[in-house]
Amino acid sequence: MDFFRKCIAFHIRQSNSYLLTILVRTNGKDTTSALDVDYSAAEILAIKGCQYVRFALDKPVLRLYKFYYSMYWYWIVWFADIALLLLPCIERPAYFESVPKWVALIIEIIAISVLLASFIISMHMQNQRKLIREAVYPYVFIIVFLLTIADMIVYYVLIWNNDNTRYIRWSRPLRVLFPFALQSGQHIRRVVRNILRTLPNIANVMVLFLLSVLTFTLLGVGMLRSRNLVHPNRKDQYFTNYIDTAWDLYVLTTTANNPDIMMPAFNVSILYVLFFMAYLLVNLYLFMNLLLAVIFSNYKQHLMEEQQVIHKRQLDTLTIIFQRLSSNNSTNYVSYNTYEQLMRAMKPDVTETIIDAYWKTLDVPNKEDGLDLKKFNELLLNLNFDLRQRNDDQTILQKYCPKFYNSKPSRFIIDFVNTSLFRTIINLLIIANAVCLAASYNELEWFFLAVFILEALLKMYAYGVRDYFHHRWNIFDFIIVFVSTTYSLVSTSVQVKFEGNVLDAILVFRVLRLVKLVGNVQRFKVIFGTFSKVIPTLMTYLRVMFMTYYVFSMIGMELFQRKIIFVDKNSTLSYPCNNSALVDSDFAASNYCRNNFNDYFSSLIVLFELTVVNQWHVLASGFVLVTTKVARIFFLAFHLCAVIVVLNIFTAFVIDSFLNQYTLSKSKEFPWVEQENIITDRLTRQGFRVIRRYDNIKQSEEERKKKFNLLDSLRAFVKPSVSRRMTTILESSRDDERTLLLRWSGHVDIDPDALLHLSDEAS
C-alpha cells in the first residue's frame, strides 16, 4: 500500500511541476488557469477514447488519466485479471497438482494488489462525491475485495498445515466482478447493463415458453402413461413422471435428444409423431425465434438509449470545458493562447505547424478572434483526425537515403508493389503452392518460400516497416512466412526430427497461406475488414460469456468434483468412471468419463460442450446419476443463462454490428468523410498540401463491376500512375513542412455527426 501511495504522490508532484511549466510558457499572456487547461485536456482525451470519467475539478488529473489509460498500465491490469481467472488451475482441485500452494497465494496477492492500485488511482483522479453518489461499481469493488481477503485468509490458515482440510472457496466466483468494478471496465458494465435491461422482456417470452412446455408435458403424460413404454436412454418408464417428462421435452427444444425421445411412441403408432411435431413447431421454431427477435429488438433499443446518455454526457462536458476555458475572458471566447496550451497539454510533442494546422481546420480568420462554442465543438471532432507532417511519416530510407529512394529504379519497384498486377502474381503463386501441398510435392517449397519472403521485403520497402506491420493482413503473412522459413532452415541445417504434433502444426501454417488469397480479394477483404472493426467490442461480449463460464465452473467443481473420474482402458477398476451408479448408462457407454468437473480446464470444456447442446442431456444425465435429480437445476440454469440469454444477446450484437459496418464498408459513405472533405478544403486554401491516407472517393458501379484484365493491368503499370500511394507521390522534400497527412483516427464508437452538433443543443 505504501508503494502505491508513493506512486500517486509522485504523479501529483509531476502534475504540479507540469502545471507550473504551462504557467511559465504563457508568460502572463492569458489568464486561463493551468488547472482548467489540465481538466479540459483530460476531458477531451476521454471523449476521444469513448470513456466516461467523473474528473475531479480541484486538482490536476491529466497525468493520472494518461497513466491509467496508457498501454503499459492496461497490460499490467490485464495480466492481473487473467492471473486471477487462471488461478484455479493451481488451486484445489488443481489441474497442475504439483505446484506448491504458496505459489497460488503469491499470485493471488500480487494480482489483487494490482487491481487495488488501479482502483485507488481511478478514485484519486475522479470526483469522489459525484462518483459515490452516481456509480455502484466502487461499492462492488470494495465488497468483493473485502470478501476475497477474508476468504483467502481463512482458506490458507486452514490448509497450510493440513492439506486434507475440506474448505469451499466461496469467493472464487466473485473474482469475475473485479474487472467489472474498475473504472476501465465500463464497456463490460455496459454489456451487463444491456443484458439486465433485456431480462424483463426475455422473461415474458420465457414464461410463455415454459407454460407451453408444461402444457405439452401434461398432454404427453396423459396420452402415453398407459402405454407402459420404456425410455430410450434411462431404461425406465416412458412419459409417466411429470418432472422427467418436462425435462425431456425441454431438452427436445434444443434438438439434442431428437428423434430418440420420439421413437418409443413412434414405434407404437405413427399418430404420436404429430404430438412431437406440434411441440417442435411451437416451442423450437416459434418461441425460440421469437425470443431471438425480442432480444434483438431490445438490444437495438437499449443501444439507442445508451447513445442518448453518451450524447447527453458529451453535451454537459462540452459546456463545462468551454465555460472553464473562457471564464476569465471578457468576450466569452477561447483565445488562441488557451487553445495552444490545450494542444500542448494533450500532445506534449506537437509541433507549431500542427497546432497552427488544427486551428486552420476551424476556418477562423484571425487568431485574435478566438473560438466560440460552435467552433470549439468542431475542434472536438477535428481532433479525432490525425494530422501529421509528411516528414514524420517517412520511412528510414526516405529520411536517410532520399536520392536512392526517389530514384527511377526505386520508383519502379514501389509502383509495381502497389499495382493489382503484383497482387495477382502473388495470388497465382499461392494457388500453385496449394496445389503442390495437396499433391505432397515438396520440391518447390524453397522456391515458394523465397517468393513469399521477397513479397514481404518488397512491401516493407514500399510501405515502410512501421506501416507494413500496421495492417493485420501483413502481420498474418509475416508470421506464416517466418514460421515456415524457421522450420525449413532448422530441419535442413540441423537435421532435427520433429514430433508428429509439431509437424502437424507446421503443416497447418503452410496451408494457412491460402488465407492470403482472402486478403487480396476485394470482396472478401470488405467482409474481413468489417469483422476486424467489430472485434474490439466483440471481445467485450466474449469476456462476459467467459465470466458466465467461470462462475458456473467454480460452482460445478464444488458440486461434482471427484464424482466422475476418468480411468484408462487398461485400468483394473470394475466400475465405469469409478462410480457404480454409471453402470449401463449412456454416459459411460459414450466414453464421457473425461467430461467431469475435477479441475478447471475440464470444467470449462464441459460447459463449452453444454453450450453446443449436442448430447448435452447425456452429459447432464451422468452427473444426475452420481448425485440426485436436483443436479438438473445446475444444467438448466447454465443453459438459460449462457445459451438463452448471453449467447442470444451476443448473436444480436454480431448481426447488428456486422450489418452496420458492412453497409458502411460496402458503400464507402463513411460518416467522417464529409468532415474530412471540409478539413482538406480549408487547409488547402491556407496553403497546406493535404494527403489523405485512404481514398474515400466512391467508386462507380462500372469500376466495381470491372473484371481484372492482365493486359489492362500491364498498360496501367507502364503508363504513369495517377493513383500511386501517397507516400511515393512526393519526390521532393522541400515542401515537407507544409505537407500534411490526414486520416480518421477516432474511436469506432464515435458518431461524428452527433459530436459535431453538440453545440446546437448547448445553452
Q: How far apart are CA 360 and CA 566, in angstroms?
A: 71
Cβ contacts of 552 within 8 Å, gap of 6 or more = 603, 607, 634, 637, 638, 641, 642
Cα-trace Rg, the chain: 32
Q: How far apart are CA 692 and CA 745, in angstroms?
A: 12
438 to 32, 108, 431, 516: CA distances (angstroms): 71, 49, 11, 17
Q: Strand 739-744 and strand 689-692: pairing?
A: parallel
Residues 642 and 595 sit within 8 Å (Cβ to Cβ):
no
Helices 272-279/242-253 angle, 10° precision: 60
Q: Compute the CA torsion angle 699, 704, 706, 711 (nearest 10 deg).
A: 60
Instruction: Tell me how many degrees the CA angle 330-334-336 measures, rounded to the nearest 5.
Output: 115
Residue 743 pairs with which residues in a beta bridge? Answer: 386
Residue closest to 545 by CA, chosen among 680, 688, 647, 438: 647
Residue closest to 252 by CA, chosen among 235, 273, 228, 224: 273
User: In the β-sheet with 385-389, what is the strand arrangement from edge to edge?
Assistant: 385-389, 739-744, 689-692
572 to 172, 444, 567, 587: CA distances (angstroms): 36, 53, 9, 19
710 to 35, 424, 520, 707, 720: CA distances (angstroms): 63, 9, 16, 10, 17
Instruction: Tell me how many degrees the CA angle 22-25-30 measures, rounded to the nearest 5.
Output: 85
Q: What is the pTM of this model?
A: 0.79
Q: Kindly give the parts of the chain with pLDDT less than 70.
A: 1-32, 94, 163, 233-235, 328-331, 390-400, 488, 490-526, 528-530, 532-533, 569-574, 661-662, 664-670, 693-737, 748-749, 760-763
| pLDDT in the model for residue 83 | 92
At 126, phi and psi to the nearest 5? -110, 165
DSSP secondary-structure letter at 94? P
Q: How far apart are CA 31 and CA 26, in angstroms?
A: 9
Instruction: Tell me how many degrees the CA angle 271-275-277 measures, rounded to the nearest 5.
Output: 100
Residue closest to 416 by CA, chosen among 154, 716, 737, 69: 716
Residue closest to 561 by CA, chosen among 616, 600, 619: 600
b/e burial code for range 180-216 (CB count within 10 A of at least 16 → b): bbbbbbbbbbbbbebbeebeebbeebbeebeebbeeb
C-alpha cell at 109: 496477492
Q: How far apart are CA 376 and CA 378, in angstroms?
A: 5
Residues 283 and 246 sit within 8 Å (Cβ to Cβ):
no
| pLDDT in the model for residue 12 | 44
Instruction: Please give the biggest Cα pair distance in the chain.
Output: 98
Residues 561 and 597 sit within 8 Å (Cβ to Cβ):
yes
Cβ contacts of 185 within 8 Å, gap of 6 or more = 137, 179
The region that residue 749 occupies, defined by phi over 0 for left and psi between -120 and 50 for alpha, beta otherwise, is alpha
DSSP secondary-structure letter at 386? E
Q: How far apart are CA 29 and CA 36, in angstroms?
A: 15
Render 695-749 in DSSP notation, one character per residue. --SPPPHHHHHPPP-HHHHHHHHHSPPSS--HHHH----TTSTTEEEEEE---TT
| pLDDT in the model for residue 623 | 93
DSSP secondary-structure letter at 139? H
Indicate the burial class of 662 (C-beta count within 10 angstroms; 0-12, 13-18, 19 or more): middle
> Count of CB atoms within 10 A of residue 260's CB?
17
C-alpha cell at 577: 468412471
Q: How far apart are CA 681 and CA 108, in angstroms?
A: 56
Instruction: Give pLDDT tens digits for 630-686.
Output: 999 999 999 999 999 888 888 888 787 777 766 766 655 667 778 888 888 888 888
